Chain A
Amino acid sequence: MTLIELSQVSLTYPHAAAPALSDLTLAVEEGATLSILGPSGCGKTTVLRAIAGFERPQTGAITIAGRPVCDAAHWVVPEERGVGMVFQDYALFPHLTVAENVAFGLQRLEKAAAARTVAQTLDLVGLSGFEDRYPHELSGGQQQRVALARALAPKPIVLLLDEPFSNLDPDMRGQMREEVEDILRLTCTTSVLVTHDHDEAFAMADRVAVLNHGRLEQVDTPEAIYHTPATPFVANFVGQADFLLGRVDNGKLHTEVGIFENVGGHPAGVAVEIMIRPDDVHIVPASPGGARIVGRQFRGSENLYTMLLPSGQHLHSSESSTTVYPVGTLVDLKIVATHIVTFAKR
């Protein structure tokens, strides 16, 4: 069942030249996690704010659990939408204790029931015993948990998370990501997660929506986004990618590094770009090889090599860092592409 639905939503901020969102159509399934991924300024936070009711789109419609909350005829204010929000900076109330923060959204519950819910939720996020602390007495990770508990306590229809892990230390980030994932699954919470980090989006989301300049580029499973990106932008944004020129001939795609299936069904004679990821390229040293290594970046478990092809195009390859090929080595290339992705020449 679709829980959140945005259809043809467009939003331009006052005095802004370009729209923040244009013609955006998105759906979130009940119990699922949708991640909105994109570079900064792509409008991803605006999507969250439109769902929460902090921004009002000029056109388009939004429904939450079947109820129209924003269209030409309806406007529901944030406090009546039943959405929970976790802010990037947590936005904890600095003058309230942890328990008071979590209880803030429970004012319509009886005192005893509210106290019970606070205790349950704090237990859920592993902060039992911290009830009387103030936010400034907590570590970043603990503050994050309070923000999560506060948003979850009123049992929102949907939980909106705006770059929730970006303020944490790198090692804390991975741990919190797993914990939050567990909590969301345990509570069957539908959630929308905004991030600019594709690893985070892939790890946490059932579906990923990639946004660029306020437009939806692609929405799909993490695997499909990575392996079969719909646009060159998506291909580039979710990982390293090279685009080699090719030409369709006899129903096959001919490139400098080999012949591939013409999966895009491009007509013969047109210039085509084929996307190749570094993990699909393997290199073997050879004496009169076709390519030469012109750069090497050490990345811990692997080395990323930059090769210069005879035509002057560059191609990258990631190889295990157990063997090192020095810059200048002549190599043969072996392309093992599990998914062939092609675009018409830009």
Chain B
Amino acid sequence: MTQAGPLTLAPATPLAPASGWLPRIGTLALLVGVGLLVLPPLLYLAAAAVKAGELGAVTIGSLAGLAFTTLSLATLATIWAMLLALPLAWLVIRTDLPFRTLCRWLAVIPLAIPSYIGAMSYIALLGPVGSVNTWLSALLGTPQQWVNIYGFWGGVFVLGVFTYPYIFLLVSAALEATNPAVEETARSLGDSPLGVFRRVTLPMLRPSMLAGGLLAFLYALSDFGSPSLLRVQVFTTAIYHQLNTRFDQAAAAMLSFVLVLITIAVLIGQHMLLHRRSYVTITGTARLARPLHLGRWRWPAALLAGMVLSLSVFIPLGVLLAQTGSLSHFLEVVREQGDYIKNSLLIAGLAATLAAILGLLIAFTARHTPPRIGALQSGTIQIGYAIPGTVLGLSLILLYNTYIPWLYGTVGVLVVAYLIRFLTQSVQGVDAALTGINPHLEEAARSLAASPWRVLRRVLAPLVRPTLFAVWALVFISAMKELDATLLLRPAGFDTLPVRVYIHTVEAEYARAAVMALLLIAFTALPWMVVARLREKKLV
């Protein structure tokens, strides 16, 4: 023992005057900042819509027609997605389907293919000047339009094919988590396998079907890219049309306002439905159900699974590869469009970095503010996520054009749009990670005289570092894929990969669009694999 004499009783450092745990000003600044980011565009939009209502720029009849088309499209696309997802999920989780692990892995790939790329690939295949029409005309010697993907049913088809993974993911997770003992009990009580499915399994899956279906529905409701490319008149495309062709901002605001109201109604419905029902409970020993032997139905089932995966993965990717053609063509397009690639990477990287930093700060302060203020803040951030990209683009144009013209038409406004749309991904991810940290660590640091900033920098940030990488990657992926708001907000000449895919498709330059689409998928797949790897190691 080298300690000479007793340690003195006086603390090592003079005690600072008493003050609030979190510097109030910092919390307030974040709160106001988030509020200013998200709310003014929406409020301004509402004001513009009310003014437009007085002008009568949009007739009630056209509004009702648009609402009918939009809602039918979203509803039918959701039903179609449900039909694709449910059998596949059941086959993959509960039966001895051949290649079931591979199927499960492939089934989520469509999430990496934005619906406008899906639409592009099907247009290249089945459009008026698509491959099928070209082949058939050549084969039969009569130039004629045999198939046409354009229109309402094409929209339903494409949206369903590229949103079914939302349902598939939730339903397969629920199928995996249900306690097989419940189903076995029903069997022992004399129910047939089909009866068990109808009376036990299906009711238990209803909450996850509902949750997945609502995600698909909201996606279809707010999507601009695929309806626009497939020439379906819905709210988002009508807004774009009013803004870019007719230059009628008031009408666009009116339409946006109605779309936001519909979205909010759906969200409220979702909240009420999902909070009333409890999810399937996972019991202590989550034993997997013994896979059902399909017997002679094994290969017909495999054919069905193969068809779903063909529609959503093999055909679109095959079309993209076929359209790209040779490596030299690929490289030529890359060289020609190098600037756009750089734009995409730069702006997505910037948005992701800011989102990760802000996400950490917001999640941390939210834990130290009264619950009601924290809920207000997270609610505000989630509103940003729920606004359709086209509407957000319009709101920012209206607001920033009027009040912050120096920001309008710069890359900055794009970053703002991405933050509004994707900040919630980062906040929720970091918040979940912070919840997983032993609260005693923070208390230990505080009892060791650490300031909030020091606690965050020295203890919490290093501990959630894998999560910060993961949310960075998630926001990066989302921002890379963003088309709807980017199309409206990008500075002149500042195109991104999605914008190029869109423009080339509109101009029927499918070979170029395919190269840009493949690049986009590659750039988003890479960070996705990093996230998946982190998830595997239970780091996220």
Q: Which residues of A contact B (CB under 8 A)?
A: 3, 30, 52-54, 65, 67, 69, 74-85, 87, 89, 91-95, 104-109, 120-121, 123-124, 150-152, 154-157, 160, 186-190
A107 touches B443 (CB 8 A): no
CB distance from A97 to the nearest CB of B (A): 13
Known A30-B9, A123-B1, A189-B7; contact A154-B443, beta-carbon cutoff 8 A:
no
Which of A75, A81, A155 meets B10, CB within 8 Å?
Answer: A155
Known A75-B18, A108-B13, A154-B11; contact A52-B443, beta-carbon cutoff 8 A:
yes
CB distance from A55 to the nearest CB of B (A): 10
**Which B residues, 394 to 452, have Cβ-Cβ distances below 8 Å to chain A?**
438, 440-441, 443-451
* Bound CA span A276–B449, Å: 49
* Bound CA span A106–B6, Å: 18
A80 touches B16 (CB 8 A): yes
Q: Closest residue to A150 on the B side, CB-wise?
A: B448
B12 touches A151 (CB 8 A): no
11 residue pairs of the A-B complex, CB under 8 angstroms, read A77-B21, A79-B449, A79-B451, A80-B17, A84-B448, A87-B440, A89-B438, A108-B12, A154-B449, A155-B7, A157-B9
CB distance from A143 to the nearest CB of B (A): 13
B326 CB-CB contact with A under 8 Å: no
B142 CB-CB contact with A under 8 Å: no
* Bound CA span A79–B447, Å: 5
* Bound CA span A30–B443, Å: 24
Inside 8 A of A155's CB, which chain B residues have their CB? 7-12
A93 touches B20 (CB 8 A): no
The 9 closest A-B pairs by CB, nearest first: A105-B448, A91-B440, A82-B11, A188-B6, A78-B446, A85-B447, A91-B444, A76-B18, A108-B13
* Bound CA span A6–B396, Å: 56
* Bound CA span A77–B19, Å: 7
CB distance from A303 to the nearest CB of B (A): 40
CB distance from A80 to the nearest CB of B (A): 5
* Bound CA span A316–B16, Å: 57
B62 CB-CB contact with A under 8 Å: no
B463 CB-CB contact with A under 8 Å: yes
Inside 8 A of A160's CB, which chain B residues have their CB? 447
Which of B9, B441, B443, B454 meets A78, CB within 8 Å?
Answer: B443
* Most chain A beta carbons < 10 A, residue from B21, B441, B449: B449
B1 touches A85 (CB 8 A): no
B15 CB-CB contact with A under 8 Å: yes
Known A65-B9, A91-B440, A120-B2; contact A107-B15, beta-carbon cutoff 8 A:
no
Inside 8 A of B1's CB, which chain A residues have their CB? 123-124, 186
Inside 8 A of B6's CB, which chain A residues have their CB? 186-188
* Bound CA span A109–B12, Å: 8
Known A104-B458, A157-B9; contact A74-B446, beta-carbon cutoff 8 A:
no
* Bound CA span A89–B441, Å: 10
* Bound CA span A105–B11, Å: 11
* Bound CA span A55–B478, Å: 41
* Bound CA span A6–B463, Å: 36
A80 touches B444 (CB 8 A): no
CB distance from B153 to the nearest CB of A (A): 53
Known A154-B12, A155-B11, A155-B12; contact A84-B447, beta-carbon cutoff 8 A:
yes
Q: Closest residue to A30 on the B side, CB-wise?
A: B9
B448 touches A104 (CB 8 A): yes
* Most chain A beta carbons < 10 A, residue from B3, B444, B458: B444
* Bound CA span A76–B19, Å: 7
Which of B8, B17, B447 meets A151, CB within 8 Å?
Answer: B447
Inside 8 A of A156's CB, which chain B residues have their CB? 11
Q: Which residues of B contact A (CB under 8 A)?
A: 1-3, 6-13, 15-21, 438, 440-441, 443-451, 454, 458-459, 462-463
CB distance from B204 to the nearest CB of A (A): 31
B440 touches A89 (CB 8 A): yes
Known: A93-B459, A150-B448, A157-B11. 9 other contacts (CB 8 A): A65-B9, A69-B18, A80-B19, A84-B448, A104-B448, A104-B458, A107-B450, A150-B444, A186-B1
Q: Closest residue to B462 on the A side, CB-wise?
A: A95
A105 touches B449 (CB 8 A): yes
* Bound CA span A75–B454, Å: 21
B441 touches A93 (CB 8 A): yes
A107 touches B454 (CB 8 A): yes
A54 touches B438 (CB 8 A): no
Q: Closest residue to A78 on the B side, CB-wise?
A: B446
* Bound CA span A254–B46, Å: 88
CB distance from B83 to the nearest CB of A (A): 45
Q: Closest residue to A69 on the B side, CB-wise?
A: B18
Inside 8 A of B459's CB, which chain A residues have their CB? 93
Inside 8 A of B447's CB, which chain A residues have their CB? 52, 78-79, 81, 83-85, 151, 160
B462 touches A123 (CB 8 A): no
A120 touches B3 (CB 8 A): yes
* Bound CA span A67–B15, Å: 11
Q: Closest residue to B17 on the A side, CB-wise?
A: A80
* Bound CA span A269–B9, Å: 55
CB distance from A6 to the nearest CB of B (A): 18
B443 touches A54 (CB 8 A): yes
CB distance from B12 to the nearest CB of A (A): 5
A85 touches B11 (CB 8 A): no
CB distance from B87 to the nearest CB of A (A): 45
Inside 8 A of A84's CB, which chain B residues have their CB? 447-448
CB distance from B374 to the nearest CB of A (A): 14
CB distance from A44 to the nearest CB of B (A): 16
CB distance from A4 to the nearest CB of B (A): 12
* Bound CA span A78–B462, Å: 22
Inside 8 A of A106's CB, which chain B residues have their CB? 12
Inside 8 A of B449's CB, which chain A residues have their CB? 79-80, 82, 105, 107-108, 154
CB distance from A315 to the nearest CB of B (A): 44
Q: Closest residue to A113 on the B side, CB-wise?
A: B12
CB distance from A132 to the nearest CB of B (A): 17
Known A104-B450, A109-B12, A154-B11; contact A124-B444, beta-carbon cutoff 8 A:
no
* Bound CA span A162–B357, Å: 35
* Bound CA span A13–B33, Å: 32
CB distance from B13 to the nearest CB of A (A): 4
Inside 8 A of B15's CB, which chain A residues have their CB? 67, 76, 80-82
CB distance from A135 to the nearest CB of B (A): 11
Q: Closest residue to A94 on the B side, CB-wise?
A: B463
Inside 8 A of A77's CB, which chain B residues have their CB? 18-21, 446
* Most chain A beta carbons < 10 A, residue from B9, B10, B20, B458: B9
Inside 8 A of A94's CB, which chain B residues have their CB? 463
Inside 8 A of B7's CB, which chain A residues have their CB? 152, 155, 187-189
Which of B3, B13, B454, B462 meets A186, CB within 8 Å?
Answer: B3
CB distance from B141 to the nearest CB of A (A): 72
* Bound CA span A182–B440, Å: 26
* Most chain B beta carbons < 10 A, residue from A30, A79, A82: A79
A87 touches B16 (CB 8 A): no
B3 touches A124 (CB 8 A): yes
Inside 8 A of B10's CB, which chain A residues have their CB? 155, 157
Known A95-B462, A188-B7; contact A79-B450, beta-carbon cutoff 8 A:
yes
Which of A75, A154, A189 meets B448, CB within 8 Å?
Answer: A154
* Bound CA span A156–B11, Å: 6
* Bound CA span A30–B10, Å: 12
Q: Closest residue to B14 on the A side, CB-wise?
A: A108
Inside 8 A of A107's CB, which chain B residues have their CB? 449-450, 454
Inside 8 A of A104's CB, which chain B residues have their CB? 445, 448, 450, 458
Known A79-B450, A124-B3; contact A85-B444, beta-carbon cutoff 8 A:
yes
